[in-house]
A and B are shown apart, each in its own frame.
Chain A
């Protein structure tokens, strides 16, 4: 197990380096002068030239790449061209905002998706099964921005149940410690604000979590069907165990393994794919941070941002692999 862990961690490095090379080549191939984009249409030619020189943008990209990697090795994540703030310092709140949203979305997707999948399998070909699978099909093909705007129309504008944008009540903000507002409000003991934070999370996490929810539901259903037809389940049933125990104790455990993979992959995908949700719900997350960096050609931010997301993605996959072994002792890594 330990050597497997070590091997997996070692593989991380070439993956991440490859990632930086790809990202670096692609963004330098995009046309568009960063100096003009950053300083704006109204900046003078002189200051644009000065910025290009100062950033080393007039140098060949290979040299720029090595300079960047050199800094990275020394633990310097670079400085944003646009805001001139160190990225390491700047990215934390965005990352926390996205993590909070992703966690809430996956919680929603997993709870609803797994339960719907189980029920569909259990009552195969029933009305519930059909309805759930039709909803899942619609869920997978739903454009996120459209769903987001519709949610705002219904739950915020018409019913006034939920706030449509942002992360908390701005009029009485809570001091940011971890930047995970659910935790910050608990730390501050501000229960009223905790409730508003949770309310702010609901709409964006449904919008973001719908696609993974649908995928998880379908995955759980097919995985459960397979397990339910196996011999040991028939044995369990024959022993006279209650339906609930059979389904939730014996069948679920084995059915969950492929589901876990999907959950892991989807979590990673959400991290990078949250741009639309973050835009619609004015959620200051890492997706928007990188998106804005791209539109202003803020090279260091794009590189570091993508690198960090790649790192988290790889890390989650590692975690999923390790969890397999916990759920199913037959899987072990020697």
Chain B
């Protein structure tokens, strides 16, 4: 009797154990099966945990981070702009997949002969999501909000950084006046000609917001944006998801094709890829090059390549000796084997960089020759610079602690370069402080001798690479090399004022020659950032600047 009871107890306890532990899955499997039989009676069979199968008019996109704000005027980060791009239209836009400008809210435009007056004809009959009219007054309202430092719609803590950097900070504004001529005509008067003006106007940051909504919601506008775009903002669960619904009254015929877009933040790259393979998301950003072979082996998925529109580079710190010496900089340029780095760490998804801007951008100088990988030449140059036995001191090389589209794994690349340099007698120590500190240190230029960084273009203009990163005006800030060349400065400033694109292109080509000779950087790679999607997802055209419209996407 006693024997029996103890046996029964053991069995019961064992059952409890399995049920509560790993048995959670048995449990689940059986219910899944019953759910399956029930589903036959109802309509939506549950094929995999999160997909409701056949009716695919909802897109779930997985990305690494969340938006900081939904008002595009006050942000500069790509994650925020991605969402804003769906909710807002700008006067102009980039042709999908390129950085070429085309009409959007403005149907057409005229430029005066002196390049000082731009007249835009607006698309008639467009409405904001809140039902108010889009018109010339709305355009004036938005531009006034961004340019007037005393604007009552510039809320506490906000700054319109992109407005300031594209159209000059207060005191040296490019735009003098924005005037509503009539309901569908807007006239911009400039203080001085600005060649990339149309490129700038097309940026997502200058999306036109509903004046009524800003006046009514005030600070809260950044959480509840209202524009004219293909999708209407519905809900934002911070660090989790943003839900956008179809704008049924969208002014572009037949768009958007999707009914709903849910953008989820899934910080871990592997977890995001797992979720895609499991059907919980339909499209993912920032695939690690390491996962490429798994992706290519899966017929249910497709690979999407974003056009390369970035540059990763090593910058020399001119404040530190001997990196103020051009021969030393050139020597180190000769001692980096870019192709080996691309093969080892980028799964071939990159090209060796010669110039500080990507080859797809107009004004790129094909004639510039790169410093080929040549250790003998490097040694000779070091000897000429007075270091026949290599550099006497150990060099501090800053390698990025975070993954970026232009550099998935900075530390590994730095180690490869460290090994190359060792061969010419240059000893390096790699440092990777946490990101905020990293940016701070490189900007101060006190701790690093050489640093790794990169840039993704904001608009389709060479100015956004060359002037932004290498002009003396960008110190302190993006020119973390503290590189000053007066001739280069004159050329870049002239190029900003020149309105003839052929002449501008020539100026930028000259600029690239000067930069190559001075070698303030070692341009490393232009990467092709990877995305992955379900095979039946169609109509997604990846944009070079990192933002694209989801309005053309549909499922087959």
Residues of A within 8 A of B (CB): 30-34, 36-37, 39-47, 50-51, 54-55, 81-85, 90, 93-94, 108, 111-112, 115-116, 118-119, 145, 148-149, 152-153, 155-157, 159-167, 169-173, 195-196, 199, 202, 206, 242-244, 279-282, 284, 288-289, 292, 295-297
Contacts and interface: CB of A to CB of B under 8 A. Distances in A.
A119 B25 CA distance: 22
Interface of B: 2, 5-6, 9-10, 13, 16-17, 20-21, 24-25, 28-29, 31-32, 35, 48-52, 58, 60, 62, 66, 68-69, 75-77, 155-159, 161-162, 164-165, 169-170, 219, 222-223, 237-241, 243, 262, 264-268, 270-272, 274-275, 277-278, 280, 433-437, 439-441, 443, 458, 476-478
A87 to B, nearest CB: 12
A295 B264 CA distance: 20
Given A54-B157, A244-B5, A156 B238 contact: no
B156 A94 contact: no
B239 A94 contact: yes
B159 A31 contact: no
B264 A36 contact: no
B477 to A, nearest CB: 6
B165 A84 contact: no
A163 B47 CA distance: 12
A46 B266 contact: no
Given A32-B440, A45-B476, A202 B76 contact: no
A147 B274 CA distance: 14
A156 B477 CA distance: 45
A152 B161 CA distance: 41
Nearest to B478: A41
Nearest to A37: B436
Contacts of B266: 165, 282
B223 A292 contact: no
A161 B435 CA distance: 38
Contacts of A90: 238
B32 A157 contact: no
B50 A36 contact: no
11 contacts: A37-B435, A55-B157, A112-B20, A149-B274, A156-B278, A157-B277, A165-B266, A170-B60, A173-B243, A243-B2, A279-B271
A244 B20 CA distance: 20
B159 A47 contact: yes
Given A83-B238, A84-B219, A161-B32, A39 B161 contact: yes
A279 B238 contact: no
A279 B28 contact: no
Nearest to B239: A284
A6 to B, nearest CB: 38
B254 to A, nearest CB: 24
B262 A170 contact: yes
Given A31-B433, A165-B272, 4 more contacts: A33-B436, A42-B161, A112-B21, A156-B274
B280 A166 contact: yes
Contacts of B222: 84
B271 A36 contact: no
Interface residues of B, dominant DSSP? mixed
Contacts of B77: 40, 42
A130 B220 CA distance: 60
A149 B277 CA distance: 13
Given A152-B274, A282-B267, A84 B76 contact: no
Contacts of A39: 76, 159, 161
Given A50-B159, A115-B13, A279-B267, A295 B76 contact: no
A280 B271 contact: yes
Contacts of B10: 119
A206 B20 CA distance: 10
B519 to A, nearest CB: 23
Contacts of A149: 270-271, 274
Nearest to A289: B239
Nearest to B476: A45
Contacts of B156: 54, 84
Contacts of B272: 165, 282
Nearest to A163: B49
A169 B17 CA distance: 29
A43 B68 contact: no
Per CB-CB distance, the 4 closest pairs between chain A and chain B, nearest first, are: A32-B436, A47-B159, A163-B49, A284-B240
B20 A31 contact: no
Given A37-B436, A84-B157, A108-B20, A42 B271 contact: no
Contacts of A281: 271
B220 to A, nearest CB: 9
A279 B76 CA distance: 24
B361 to A, nearest CB: 18
A84 to B, nearest CB: 5
A139 to B, nearest CB: 11
Contacts of B9: 243-244
Contact of B157 (A51, A119, A164, A292): A51
Given A31-B437, A108-B20, A169-B50, A83 B68 contact: yes
B24 A295 contact: no
Nearest to A276: B268
B161 A164 contact: no
B534 to A, nearest CB: 15
Contacts of A119: 10, 13, 17
A93 B16 CA distance: 33
A45 B219 CA distance: 23
A37 to B, nearest CB: 4
Contacts of A160: 48-49, 278
A82 B32 CA distance: 42
A30 B438 CA distance: 12
A164 B272 CA distance: 9
A297 B165 contact: no
A184 to B, nearest CB: 13
A166 B267 CA distance: 12
Contact of A282 (B13, B275, B439): B275
Contacts of A145: 268
Contacts of B66: 292
A195 B165 contact: no
B481 to A, nearest CB: 15
A214 B467 CA distance: 59
A333 B525 CA distance: 69
Contact of B274 (A36, A84, A153, A244): A153
Contact of A115 (B17, B274, B434): B17
A143 to B, nearest CB: 14
Contact of B267 (A32, A171, A288): A288
A164 B241 contact: no
Contacts of B35: 195
B58 to A, nearest CB: 6
A284 B236 CA distance: 12
A44 B17 CA distance: 60
A332 to B, nearest CB: 33
A296 B169 CA distance: 25
Contacts of A152: 271, 274, 278
B306 to A, nearest CB: 19
Contacts of A37: 435-436, 439
A117 B441 CA distance: 53
A172 to B, nearest CB: 8
A92 B189 CA distance: 48
